[in-house]
Structure 1
Amino acid sequence: MKKLKLGLLVLFVIAFVNLNAQEKKKFKIHTVAFYNLENLFDTINDPTKYDEASPIMEMNESLRGEVYKNKVKNMARVVADIGSDATGNTPAIIGVSEVENKQVLMDLVNDPQLLHKDYGIIHFESPDKRGIDVALLYQKALFTPLESSSHELLIYDDLTRKRVFTRDQLLVSGKLEGDLIHVIVNHWPSRSGGEARSRSKRVGAANLNKRIIDSLQSIDPYAKIISMGDYNDDPTNASFKKALKTHANKNKVPLKGIYNPFENQFKKQGLGTTGYRDAWSLFDQVLVTKPFLEKDYSSFRYYKSGIFNKHYLSNKHGRYKGYPLRSFADGGFTDGFSDHFPVYIYLVKEVDADKPNTEDLKESKTKN
């Protein structure tokens, strides 16, 4: 009986110690996001661009200044909100598309809702015929860029064989609180002319994306790479499954493979980021390479993904109820946001419980 009591006491002590150890585990958590800002153009006509076709330039000149101010404010509100429920912070890193120039980005990060976060901007002008670019915003206190480059996409129309001038792909390498990561920001060619006719253009964009990833992995097979963007393709299209060879099951991703956490959200849950003709598309995605999936949380790892579709971002009535509440419609400003919902992932890293400035890993309502 004494031996039994002693054994139970030992088990109780071990359980207590293990429980305490679990309770002391703390994690840093950061949001990495992407958002198509839907025609974030300024009010100045740039003769080097086809910006006169932008919605804001098609409006009465007397309205443009106020509309632009409200558009920037609305975009800043969304950026400030993405991931904040889980992290208590705005995104550490966010890729954006459909921006005209660096000045509109400066106006965005200097909005009162974001100014205190001290965002840096990485932006290159691209040859896109509409004058729209991609860019990366980052909190200077959390991310330190080391290198950045713009990668030109050379594609041609299948019928005319003329070059299609579209967005470059932006590559930024840097350290997220000491961890080296690489981020690629994309905005692949649209489906103008139909999905089938335009498919080869997006496959071409996927091939360029794969070459960038391969070049990083040839230097370091364990490179932690994030590719994000508005791909104008769903996770099940050939650009992903054949060109990039993405995987939907994170347990089956090979060393140099790519995990797409949004594939199952599209296939199994029917979720999307943009709607067209009464159907959802999940064009906005964030992909990660295998090293983000390891179980060792001594460095930043992938935790969860989600579509940021809070109630205020959606149409409340009519035919487009539930779809993104876009900024411009029928030649006017709706005081809305974008025709795309943002997407995001959480990155987590275990830290010493005794160190200051750490955060408990909070539960969130997002889906894996």
Structure 2
Amino acid sequence: MKSLKLLIILLALISVSNLSAQEEKRYKIHTVAFYNLENLFDTINDPLKYDEASPIMEMNANRSEVYKKKIKNMARVIANIGSDYANNSPAVIGVCEIENRQVLVDLVNDPLLLGKDYGIIHFDGPDKRSIDVALLYQKALFKPIAESSHELMIYDNITRKRVFTRDQLLVSGKLDGDLIHLLVNHWPSRSGGEARSRSKRVGAAKLNKRLIDSLQSIDPYAKIFTMGDLNDDPTNESVKDVLKAKKEKEDVELKGIYNPFEKMFTEKGYGTTAYRDAWSLFDQIMMTQPLLEDDYSSFRFWKAGIYNKAYLSNKRGRYEGYPFRSFADGGFTDGFSDHFPVYVYLIKEVEEDTEEDTTKG
């Protein structure tokens, strides 16, 4: 009798083991990221732009050496984002605080990124400081279909004059065969105070929402990412009331928006930039509901994160733990940016082992 019981238990264990082996799945992983490059300006004075006030142009010497080092530092960070799981740099990455296309050409041709063969999508914008947004993409992974720049018409509450700020970039394309849409943002700053400047970011959010709505009117199941330095936290009016972004995936309905960074901010106290001993999570990546579904036959959201490795932080002094920025007190620090990058991982189930980046689930 004991022998029979042991045989039954053994057969049951073998069955469970076989089932687990059958249920083990493999996934392809890609990274979508965003990074504020903190004043990535060249060393040439453009007479048509107000670039004289950029930190590098205010330096009296060694501009060329500083520019080369700044490019190399930015390339190092971008090359490392996503490598923990995807074993690759981002498939697509939105960037802001760049002066022109040429600085991006120099960036993607740095030895650390050259082998990734990044393409560039950039439009010259009307920002008074001559800073723009752009999208970089690995040509082997992402195929652009449409790209457009959308002007933000906002006005100062006191003077009623137009505020010339960054356009919003919209790019549609296929990521490894899946159609996705990406909005890259750099919303108006908090200059003059959060309350006084709030309406400008609300205006930016309204433009963003109109662009998302226009995509969803064509296809309610559109996979849309909106990313950027919003100069607002996930709990501010622009994000919560205008975009109506949700903290919990379960609360996101069709045509709704999910913000994985809200929980990091409200429950864990994480941030991407710091000021006067307070953290803000201005850099965010949000997405629409179809990216949250459980069917992994196409790319879906897996997890989000802040890329805040130790080398990106100040090690000592008054600003210990803050992002190790590039420029301070009128000089170059050999740092990186005053913002940490953010990223999300997308996964898709694969039928069998390939040479592409995969993870077991």
Give the TM-score taking structure 2 as reference length. Answer: 0.97
* Alignment check: 8 A CA contact 1:157 1:163 kept: yes
* Alignment check: 8 A CA contact 2:26 2:360 kept: no
Taking the aligned partners of 2:357 and 2:117, their CA distance within structure 1 comes to 20
Taking the aligned partners of 1:301 and 1:114, their CA distance within structure 2 comes to 26
Taking the aligned partners of 1:52 and 1:121, their CA distance within structure 2 comes to 25
* Alignment check: 8 A CA contact 1:72 1:108 kept: yes
Which residue identity is paired with 1:112? P
Taking the aligned partners of 1:9 and 1:330, their CA distance within structure 2 comes to 71
* Alignment check: 8 A CA contact 1:93 1:139 kept: yes
Which residue identity is paired with 1:66? E
Taking the aligned partners of 1:10 and 1:294, their CA distance within structure 2 comes to 36
Which residue identity is paired with 1:360? T
* Alignment check: 8 A CA contact 1:145 1:173 kept: yes
Q: Which residue of 1 aligns with 2:33?
A: 33
Which residue identity is paired with 1:30? H
Q: Which residue of 2 aligns with 1:366?
A: none
Pair 1:146-2:152 in alignment: no
Taking the aligned partners of 2:115 and 2:176, their CA distance within structure 1 comes to 19
Q: Which residue of 1 aligns with 2:217?
A: 218
Task: Report the 3-state secondary structure (helix = DSSP H, G, I; strand = E; otherwise coil) of the residue aligned with 2:71.
Answer: helix
Gaps of 5+ in 1: 364-368
Q: Which residue of 1 aligns with 2:302?
A: 303
* Alignment check: 8 A CA contact 1:235 1:282 kept: yes
* Alignment check: 8 A CA contact 1:86 1:362 kept: no
Compute the displacement of 1:3 (Å).
Answer: 8.8
Task: Report the 3-state secondary structure (helix = DSSP H, G, I; strand = E; otherwise coil) of the residue aligned with 1:38.
Answer: strand
Compute the displacement of 1:357 (Å).
Answer: 2.1
Q: Which residue of 1 aligns with 2:196?
A: 197
Q: Show CA shifts across 1:226-265 (max 9, x none).
A: 0000000000000011100000001110101000000010
* Alignment check: 8 A CA contact 2:59 2:331 kept: yes
Pair 1:116-2:115 in alignment: yes
Q: Which residue of 2 aligns with 1:20?
A: 21
Which residue identity is paired with 1:57? M
Taking the aligned partners of 2:144 and 2:324, their CA distance within structure 1 comes to 33
Compute the displacement of 1:17 (Å).
Answer: 2.9
Which residue identity is paired with 1:52? E
Compute the displacement of 1:11 (Å).
Answer: 3.9
Compute the displacement of 1:134 (Å).
Answer: 0.2
Compute the displacement of 1:362 (Å).
Answer: 6.5
Taking the aligned partners of 2:76 and 2:6, their CA distance within structure 1 comes to 60
Compute the displacement of 1:6 (Å).
Answer: 7.9
User: Structure 1 residues 158, 336: closer, same or farther in 2, change over 3 A?
Assistant: same
Q: Which residue of 1 aligns with 2:357?
A: 359
**How is 1:1-368 mapped onto 2 (pairs within 5 angstroms)?**
11-23=12-24, 25-60=25-60, 62-354=61-353, 356-361=354-359
Gaps of 5+ in 2: none
Taking the aligned partners of 1:14 and 1:74, their CA distance within structure 2 comes to 53
Compute the displacement of 1:358 (Å).
Answer: 3.6
* Alignment check: 8 A CA contact 2:284 2:342 kept: yes
Taking the aligned partners of 1:359 and 1:11, their CA distance within structure 2 comes to 34
Taking the aligned partners of 1:357 and 1:53, their CA distance within structure 2 comes to 48
Compute the displacement of 1:14 (Å).
Answer: 3.6
Which residue identity is paired with 2:206? N
Compute the displacement of 1:10 (Å).
Answer: 6.0
* Alignment check: 8 A CA contact 1:43 1:68 kept: yes
Taking the aligned partners of 2:360 and 2:264, their CA distance within structure 1 comes to 22
Give the TM-score taking structure 1 as reference length. Answer: 0.95
Q: Show CA shifts across 1:264-289 (max 9, x none).
A: 10001111000011100000000010
Taking the aligned partners of 1:82 and 1:73, their CA distance within structure 2 comes to 15
- Aligned residues with identical type, % of pairs: 72
Q: How many residues align?
A: 360
